[in-house]
């Protein structure tokens, strides 16, 4: 059996991390990489990744996706370019129409029916027409605040309320994330950023809440309510990428609520900040279910975001290739799992 052939579209931190992970696996090869960044176009992925090529086939990064998409180029594409379904959608359709399965890192694609039902329908129809599957996943949305919650309700006879909490550190992240989360702003500038929409914060609450609700059979009474509050530091904090003074914003405490039968039944709590331990905050992921039985799950420290998303996308490759054609979510597929053997052993042909 031939190696599983993987195309990577987007070679930033996520896409290049997936490449690095794939190169350590057997039964799989990277068959093409598309990226627009002038510093990467035309270079070997091995040079960019700073690792020896060994017996892997050479892959030169191209910015021309159309030239790359020759018949048979790939069994599956890892699309790591966007956060929003609207932005990812034309790229997904292009891949689907070439008969290529797709895994997208776009947070909204983890449950596109939540905010883009029409695009979800279109992707589903196209995927069925071309006989491929499309999945959005990552560490969150994709696992921590949704799939893991749903899984734990499987041990419950009944469920009254759910809280998913992710308390994590932003220290490893670079300028783009600092800007999205408002780190380093004054509280006033943070407030203005919220008003003018420039603080994206975490993308994914509507998707996670809807995935949980649909998964267990609750009907949401309306859109997910969201709030973002600045986490104002009382001490100076410093990372590799940013330095803030006491009184500045160290991060963003984002919360979301899903209402079911008029009651707040699904709560999302997601404070993210640089150097949380400086003020005694312990990072972790928490799932609390009030039901029969109650469930109190914690993961300490939290599963790190970057490597977690990279692993989830790579590890779901077999499930997506094996799935019946169409748009899938993590609710539809067998559980993610590490791939420590030959990836070809996972593929049903």
* Residues of the shown chain interacting with its own copies in the complex, contacts defined by CB under 8 A: 21, 24, 139, 143, 147-148, 150-151, 153-159, 215-219, 291-293, 295-301, 303-304, 307-308, 310-312, 314-316, 330-342, 345-346
| Shorter beta-carbon distance to its own copies: residue 141 or 184 | 141
| Extended strands (E) in 35-137 | 76-79, 101-104, 133-136
Enumerate residues 6+ apart whose C-beta is below 8 A from 152. 287, 289, 295, 297
* CB burial of residue 104 (10 Å; 0-12, 13-18, 19+): buried
Least distance to its own copies, CB of residue 297, Å: 5
Least distance to its own copies, CB of residue 214, Å: 9
How far is Cα 78 from Cα 101, in angstroms, rounded to an integer? 9
Least distance to its own copies, CB of residue 100, Å: 22
Least distance to its own copies, CB of residue 344, Å: 11
| Shorter beta-carbon distance to its own copies: residue 43 or 161 | 161
| Shorter beta-carbon distance to its own copies: residue 158 or 222 | 158
Least distance to its own copies, CB of residue 106, Å: 19
CA distances 83 to 88, 173, 230, Å, are: 8, 16, 22
CA distances 23 to 43, 46, 203, 345, Å, are: 17, 10, 29, 17
Least distance to its own copies, CB of residue 336, Å: 3
Q: Is the peptide bond before 99 cis (omega within 30 degrees of 0)?
A: no
Enumerate residues 6+ apart whose C-beta is below 8 A from 46. 52, 53, 56, 58, 59
């Amino acid at each position: 059996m031939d190696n599983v052939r993987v195309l990577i579209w987007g070679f930033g931190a996520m896409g290049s991390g997936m490449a690095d992970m794939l190169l350590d696996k057997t039964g799989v090869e990277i068959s093409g990489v598309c990226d627009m960044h002038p510093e990467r176009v035309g270079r070997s992925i091995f040079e960019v990744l700073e690792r020896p090529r060994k017996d892997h086939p050479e892959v030169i990064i191209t910015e021309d996706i159309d030239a790359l998409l020759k018949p048979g180029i790939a069994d599956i594409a890892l699309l790591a370019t966007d956060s929003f379904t609207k932005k990812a959608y034309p790229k997904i359709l292009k891949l689907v129409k070439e008969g290529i399965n797709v895994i997208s890192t776009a947070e909204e694609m983890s449950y596109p029916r939540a905010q883009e039902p029409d695009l979800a329908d279109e992707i589903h129809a196209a995927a069925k027409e071309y006989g491929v599957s499309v999945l959005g996943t990552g560490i969150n949305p994709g696992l921590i605040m949704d799939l893991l919650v749903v899984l734990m309700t499987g041990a419950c006879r009944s469920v009254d309320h759910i809280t998913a909490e992710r308390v994590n550190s932003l220290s490893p992240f670079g300028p783009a994330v600092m800007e999205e989360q408002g780190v380093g702003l004054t509280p006033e500038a943070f407030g203005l950023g919220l008003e003018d929409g420039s603080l994206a914060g975490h993308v994914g609450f509507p998707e996670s809440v809807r995935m949980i609700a649909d998964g267990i059979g609750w009907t949401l009474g309306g859109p997910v309510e969201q709030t973002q509050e600045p986490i104002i530091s009382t001490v100076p904090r410093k990372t590799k990428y940013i330095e803030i003074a006491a009184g500045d914003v160290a991060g963003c405490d984002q919360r979301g609520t899903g209402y079911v039968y008029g009651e707040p039944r699904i709560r999302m709590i997601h404070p993210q900040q640089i150097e949380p331990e400086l003020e005694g905050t312990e990072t972790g992921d928490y799932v609390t279910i009030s039901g029969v039985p109650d469930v109190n799950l914690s993961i300490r420290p939290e599963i790190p975001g970057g490597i977690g998303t990279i692993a989830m996308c790579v590890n779901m490759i077999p499930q997506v290739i094996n799935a019946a054609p169409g748009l899938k979510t993590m609710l539809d597929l067998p559980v993610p799992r590490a791939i420590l053997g030959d990836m070809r052993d996972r593929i049903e042909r």
